[in-house]
Amino acid sequence: MTAAAAQPSGPGAAPIRKIVIVGGGSAGWMTAAPLSQRLAKHCEIVLVESPEIGTIGVGEATLPTIRYYNRALGLDGADFVRRTQATFKLGIEFRDWGHIGNRFFHGFGDYGPTIETRSPYMHWLRLVRSGATQRPLEDFCVATVMARHQRFTPPAGDQPSASNAFSYGFHFDAGLYAAYLRDYAMQRGVQRIEAMIDGVELHPETGFITALRLRDGRRIDGELFIDCSGFRGLLIQGAMQSDYEDWSTQLPCNSALAVPSARVDKLTPFTRSTAHRAGWQWRIPLQHRTGNGHVYCNGFTTDDEAAKTLLAGLDGRPLDDPRQLRFTTGRRRRQWVKNCVAIGLSAGFLEPLESTSLNLIETAIGTLIQNFPDSTFNPGLSDEFNRLLAARYESVRDFIILHYKLTQRSDSEFWRYCADIKLPDSLRHQIELFKQTGRVVVYEPNGFMESSFVAIMTGLGVHPASYDPFVDLMDLGRLRQHFDGVHRAIAMTVRDMPDHTEYIARHVAAPAVPHPAGTVT
């Protein structure tokens, strides 16, 4: 998200004077907060949300990028953690993916420093092939070793070292986060209206949205309308008729059951994803409870069976009955149409396997600010926005498909289906090039990078047939010494780090407060 001012100032510019955001929750208030920070003194911002539309509170896991979003708003990091009942996230532990009994970790960090312009993974491959090391690749990722020992402290120091060669995200209560950003935005002038929307008025000639009609008789006019209404797509689908591109043949899961459970004593600094016969289960530890859910395809199991699987996998007593969610994976072909921009679930949905939902919201907001229009709404801006968001959604889609396609499981009809998924050409090229040469193709520079693809593909059992010949130019003895040194530095650094649960208790423990009704996933 850029910190540059969004408001146009050139000759002839007609600045937008009123923005209307439809829907609250994470998407609505994550949109309102940075717009209020930049535009509230120049532009009226109104957010309309309904008190009648419930949401599911399960806990939210994030990518490290949420830290930069928070920092751009000037949020206090410790206050944010306390106010949202947050814990820290170093990555995702995968269980029973690839084959039953398999366990691997996608950590937020690389596998050591680059060596003579080549990836550390390539040099590790050479060591393994030559018999010079038997240490697994994960031993060289600081975040993964920290998670294994359940340690945490923020990165420290200015010089590159094991003490700062990792990143982290968060687990938090998304309802509390939305409320936190709501306070932020309203303090900066955003007007909040609680009401049901009864209709949308369009200009008879241009087709632009001119106003919302509320059930209580009020009319809310505006110039830029942002649709954060969730799966309903009240504006982008209902008024703008933007087509939805269905990806369910490649990502077959279409259902989720979510339930909170009692907090466990040990707060793990990672999300857990456990594969089941017709999908997978998440576990997200918060300070006050644990969020759990089962994502599955109802064509391969029943809702009752899915609920039993979910409840059997809890490590604490359930605090509610499981709540049902249906979805169709995919995206809007056009996320910005005329004067309407869709952000969040109204723009598309990709299952939460890699915790990308809030990141896609961040990306959309940052891209909107970067391409912010004046009141003439030059179509080139919406074209560029749509191009960038399409690439981002497709990049995430491919990364998630990767987890399913590379399975060796044949114990259920669901996994046999996944093994036969027809791949997008882009992902087929990524997989084949890695299998043959160990090289990783990164199409989206703002998306998942090489280390993430390596973590997933090696974790699922892909062993490249060859590696970059340039790594053979380095003396093997020197290379082994280098990796031995990296391993020692990581082990010593992690050993001296505090326990994750103790770190939270000492520095950022949240006050005990009742859990609010109406939280958001």
Q: Is pTM beyond 0.85 here?
A: yes
Find, among 24, 42, 43, 29, the residue nearest to 224 by Cα.
Answer: 43
CA 373 to chain centre: 27
pLDDT at position 51: 78
pLDDT at position 518: 39
pLDDT at position 514: 54
Question: What value does the mean pLDDT take over residues 465-483?
Answer: 96
In DSSP notation, 87-125 reads EEE-EEEEESSSSTT-EEEEESS-SS--BTTB-HHHHHH
The overall longest dimension of the chain from CA atoms, in Å, is: 78
Tens-digit pLDDT profile for residues 100-115? 999 999 999 999 999 9
Q: Report, as residue numbers or ranges, the catalytic residues.
A: 89
Tens-digit pLDDT profile for residues 400-458? 999 999 999 999 999 999 999 999 999 999 999 999 999 999 999 889 999 999 999 99
Tens-digit pLDDT profile for residues 366-409? 999 999 999 999 999 999 999 999 999 999 999 999 999 999 99
Q: Which domains does the chain have, with CATH numbers?
A: 18-86+172-244+332-390 (3.50.50.60)
Tens-digit pLDDT profile for residues 501-517? 999 999 999 997 554 44
Residue type, 332: R
In DSSP notation, 422-491 reads PPPHHHHHHHHHHHHH-------TTS--HHHHHHHHHHTT---S---GGGGGS-HHHHHHHHHHHHHHHH
Q: Please check whether residue 356 is in contact with residue 396, taking contact to mean a CB–CB distance below 8 angstroms.
A: yes
Tell me the Ramachandran region of residue 414: left when phi exceeds 0, alpha when psi lies from -120 to 50, beta otherwise.
alpha
CA 393 to chain centre: 11
Q: Examine the pLDDT at 10 and tell me if it is beyond 90.
A: no
Tens-digit pLDDT profile for residues 72-94? 999 999 999 999 999 999 999 99
